[in-house]
Structure 1
Amino acid sequence: MARELNKLSAVQVKQASAGKYSDGGGLWLTKADRDSGSWFLRVVVHGRRREMGLGSIADGSLKEARDEAAKWRAVVRAGGDPIKERERQRRDAARNLHLLKDVAEDAFEARKAELKGDGKAGRWFTPLELHVLPRLGKTPVADIDQIDIRDTIAPIWHTKAETARKALNRLNIVLTHAAALGLNVDLQAVEKARALLGKSRHKAENIPAMPWADVPEFYASLTDGNVTHLALRLLILTGVRSRPLRFIREEQIDGDVWTIAGGDLKGRKDATAEFRVPLSTEALAVIEQARRHARDGFLFPSVREGVVSDMTLGMYMRRAKLDARPHGFRSSLRDWLAECNDAPHEVAETILQHVAGTKVTRAYRRTDFLEQRRVLMERWANHVTGGAGKVVQLAEART
């Protein structure tokens, strides 16, 4: 029998042309061409010949194929069917996917296609990772009840209400995923835990915003011409959120329009969606200044790698001993639109990339009010630059 085994060598496996080659003992190599091929095991089970795939040559070496073949030949000698046995083992492995940590990771993988950037930013999984899994991750998901959930969330229920809410929502999705896997879980456990936790004492606080009348003075102080100053200037002038501003790329700008991809827009699951931002004369001047700092296509790069961080912009304002934060300039702009202009509600909300109108009216609307927004953003730039409407010359960046 020994002479009938191990007929092939690793060199033969690599160099063999298209065809079938026996290694002995029912192990075969089939090659479509010189660079690709696969292993299969031919056995006789209860008088019937069966062929069992063992994977490609790219996934396993000759030795690994022989070890796998030997394992399944032993099943045949014991009177079993290796193909059915392998399927049984796979089902058992699936059933063993029972710890909360494993189910949570599996649920995350299943939902990635629905998440912005396939969830690479980590925001979907983070509430679970930080506040649930450290305590319950190694608990069988079928054993988790409302008491476990209450005790896990209670430390942040009154102090980090939004984070607690997200953690509970994610956990509910994980339990639903576990039920779909065939695991015996209590699908009402999260709602029961909410009832046990009671009403949160946490009061939501708005992000501090600078009064619109004070914005020109702050804008005039941003004269260094460095990445931080320029990024804050463009943030103020456009009213966009921090992420699209920080990740702005040269190719997104066409004339006096900046087109933001859907992947950088809050609440947009469709990566093909876009939002057009009209650029005022002042905004174009800031972008021209920023081109001096551009790296890898990004107008606002960080000192080391990637782009300037949200923390960097916020830290600058804290060091200036200001209560306001960068995101608050959106509120400054919205208040100015309400108090100093006759802008229709839909136009003003669209400037901030907010969804305006009912689902029905949005379905029939085919405009993004670009021209109306262009006029308003030019007026805003005039206000921000002191009312004169002149482009403020920025100083050269400090070294």
Structure 2
Amino acid sequence: MNTPRRALLAAAAGLVLAAGAQAQGTLKIGEINSYKAQPAFLEPYKKGMELAVDEINASGGLLGRKVELVIRDDNANPGEAVRAAEELLSREKVDVLMGGFLSNIGLALTDFAKQKKTFFLAGEPLTDKIVWADGNRYTYRLRASTYMQVAMLIPDVVAMKKKRWALVYPNYEYGQSAAASFKTLLKAAQPDVEFVAEQAPPLGKVDAGSVVQALADAKPDAIFNVLFGADLTKFVREGNTRGLFKGIEVASLLTGEPDYLDPLKDDAPNGWLVTGYPWYGIKTPEHEAFLKAYQAKFKDYPRLGSVVGYSAVKSIEAGVKKAGSTDSEKLVAAFSGLNVVTPFGPIVYRPEDHQSTMGAYVGRTKNVDGKGVMVDFRYMDGAKFLPSAAEVKKLRPAD
């Protein structure tokens, strides 16, 4: 065989090997979150992601490649989150970026995606700014926002017929957004409402005694609570000790999630109106399949974080399959109107604001043998609690 022909064959073989190696390489999902700061939600969230990745890989992977999670902790700091995103893209060469728990970090990553023109799926951050005021072409969001979840509570709140409301919320983007939505929506539905007190302690640093005393001094008919995690536990225990909740109604975001309700144990409240996740009572085919798989893998029951982590990775799977690529521009186009099956049923990522229609469960809390559960709950379809496309144009900058 002459030398030129031998060289040609060697080059061709090299190309085949390179293509094969690329096909056999992993498809990397870069994920950034506050794992150390918010373990109650994010440890189950990580398990949910792992279950979804296992299912994807068992069915052949994505684009002929095994899926791999590359995870970074942002230490609950927006600057560190952005640095982690830079590192994931430049050094780890991840194919897709997702994550975020705290709303201020979600906003930082949303801006990063815009600046870098890279696709980003915000799984958990709930502030409305992610899809409205600060929304951009490259960012989509999975979970029902603060506005959506507050709107789900408002009909029952109005039915309480309480005039004097006090509010307590963590003093950062999520809490501020939730409080603003509550006041706006309740005032529109019940014009004679009065907001007699507001307590906004720093996230993770609630002085429960002074907060409870200030609320009691205002003599409200009802309380709207947005605290979660360790702050919620301290607030509820102090409120129970001082009798704050006796004879008044409480409406509370997220408190029905086992991630936050379970740690309350004997202090779990009775009769609070909440959004949450009654995993033990959901009988849909989608949820029963998820529950069975989750319990088989982890020998534990899922939390709301588990559903969000699982659904986020499943969304990436659906988007990549539809796009036929992990190219950011193609993913942006694929996510517009994307249908995804989640444990809560089918959802759609809306073209007009990049918000998914995932809903939430609304019900009442009940302390059963020293454990908090949700009763009288119903699923609220997120699509019914979102503004129209015409309204979104006023809320969101043009992409």
If the TM-score is normalised by the length of the shorter chain, which range does it land in? under 0.3
Structure of greater relative contact order (alpha carbons < 8 Å, 6+ residues apart): 2
More helix by percentage: 1
Structure-1-length-normalised TM-score: 0.20
Greater Rg over alpha carbons, structure: 1
Structure-2-length-normalised TM-score: 0.20
